[in-house]
C-alpha cells in the first residue's frame, strides 16, 4: 500500500497559451518513502473558501451578485466550486513535483469569475480535494492499483494578482460577457437601427437612457 500526501506550493500563469491558464505546483509525497510508485492519476476539485478572508466595503458591494447583501452572508458565505483538474504523474520514490493546470475564464456568468474580479488585493483562499488512482509494484513485482484516500486535501491561498494579471494579459482593458442568442439579436438590432458604430457605444447609450429615466 502507498499513502500519498499532497501540498500545493505555488501558482503561476502558463507561459504560453491562447486561453487563460494557471499552473498550480503540487508536491506529492509517498509513505513508505523507500517504496517506489509507478504512476499516479491525480484529480482535484478546487473550492473557493469564501469565509476564510475579510473583505473591504467595495469588495462587499461587488460580491452582492455572488453572496447577496452582507446581512445574508451568515448563510451564503460558504465554499463554492471553482474547477476540476487532473494530472498524470510518472514514477517516483519518496516525493515528486507535478503541475495541476486550471483553465480560467472571463465569463461573468461564471461564479468564480465574479468572485475573483471582486477582490481588490490579498489572497483567495482555496481548498483542494484530491482523488484518483495510484499504481505501484507489489512484493512479487506485479502491478498493484489502489485509490487515493477520500480524506486527502490541502489549502492554498492564491495571490489575487495572479488571476488579475492573467486576465489583463489576455483581455487588456476589456471584459467578456456572454449573452443568450435572443438578447444578442435584440441588442444587435438596437445598434443597427440607431447607426451606432461599436458595442461599447451601444451599451453606453443604453446606460445613459437608464440614467435619464431615473
How many Cα neighbours within 13 Å face the side chain of 188?
Answer: 7
Q: Is 106 helix (H, G, I), strand (E, B) or coil?
A: coil
Q: Check residue 131 and give its pLDDT.
A: 97
pLDDT in tens, 3-52: 999 999 999 998 777 789 999 999 999 999 999 999 999 999 999 999 99
How many Cα neighbours within 13 Å face the side chain of 154?
Answer: 20
Q: Which of 44, 25, 48, 11 is nearest to 126 (CA)?
A: 48
The verdict on 62 and 158 lying in the same domain is: yes
The verdict on 151 and 119 lying in the same domain is: yes
Q: Check residue 92 and give its pLDDT.
A: 96
pLDDT in tens, 161-210: 999 999 998 888 777 777 888 988 888 888 888 888 787 888 888 888 76
The verdict on 25 and 57 lying in the same domain is: yes
Label residue 211 by pLDDT band (50, 70, 90): low
| 175 in a structural domain | no
Query: What mean pLDDT do residues 72-93 have?
Result: 96
pLDDT in tens, 88-101: 999 999 999 999 99
Domain span at residue 194? 181-212
Q: How far apart are CA 200 and CA 177, in angstroms?
A: 12
Domain with 131 in it: what CATH number? 2.60.40
Burial of 198 by CB count in 10 Å (0-12 exposed, 13-18 middle, 19+ buried)? exposed
Non-local (6+) Cβ contacts of 20 within 8 A are 13, 103, 104, 105, 106, 166, 167, 169, 170
Pairwise pLDDT comparison (12 vs 212), residue with the higher score: 12
Query: What mean pLDDT do residues 66-90 have?
Result: 95
Q: Which of 72, 71, 82 is nearest to 49 (CA)?
A: 82
Helix 111-118 to helix 160-170 angle (10° resolution) is 110
Give the count of domains, the chain: 2
Q: What is the largest CA-CA distance in the chain?
A: 80
Q: Check residue 214 and give its pLDDT.
A: 61
Q: How far apart are CA 146 and CA 149, in angstroms?
A: 9
Find the radius of gyration of the CA atoms of the chain: 23
Q: Check residue 213 and give its pLDDT.
A: 64
The verdict on 85 and 189 lying in the same domain is: no
| 98 in a structural domain | yes
pLDDT in tens, 109-156: 899 999 999 999 999 999 999 999 999 998 888 999 999 999 999 999
The verdict on 79 and 146 lying in the same domain is: yes
The verdict on 29 and 89 lying in the same domain is: yes
Amino acid at each position: 500500500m502507498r499513502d500519498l500526501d499532497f501540498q500545493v506550493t505555488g501558482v503561476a500563469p502558463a507561459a504560453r497559451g491562447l486561453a487563460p491558464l494557471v499552473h498550480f505546483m503540487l508536491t506529492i509525497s509517498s509513505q513508505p518513502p523507500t517504496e517506489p510508485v509507478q504512476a499516479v492519476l491525480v484529480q482535484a476539485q478546487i473550492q473557493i473558501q469564501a469565509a476564510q478572508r475579510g473583505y473591504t466595503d467595495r469588495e462587499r458591494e461587488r460580491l452582492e451578485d455572488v453572496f447577496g447583501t452582507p446581512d445574508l452572508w451568515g448563510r451564503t458565505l460558504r465554499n463554492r466550486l471553482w474547477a476540476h483538474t487532473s494530472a498524470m504523474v510518472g514514477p517516483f520514490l519518496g516525493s515528486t513535483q507535478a503541475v495541476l493546470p486550471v483553465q480560467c475564464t472571463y465569463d461573468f456568468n461564471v461564479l468564480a469569475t465574479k468572485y475573483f474580479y471582486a477582490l481588490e488585493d490579498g489572497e483567495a483562499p482555496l481548498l483542494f480535494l484530491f482523488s484518483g488512482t495510484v499504481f505501484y509494484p507489489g512484493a512479487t513485482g506485479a502491478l498493484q492499483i489502489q485509490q487515493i484516500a477520500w480524506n486527502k486535501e490541502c489549502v492554498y491561498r492564491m495571490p489575487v494578482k495572479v488571476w488579475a494579471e492573467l486576465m489583463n494579459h489576455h483581455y487588456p482593458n476589456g471584459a467578456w460577457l456572454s449573452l443568450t442568442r435572443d438578447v444578442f439579436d435584440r441588442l444587435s438590432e438596437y445598434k443597427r437601427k440607431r447607426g451606432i458604430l461599436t458595442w461599447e457605444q451601444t451599451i453606453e447609450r443604453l446606460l445613459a437612457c437608464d440614467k435619464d429615466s431615473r
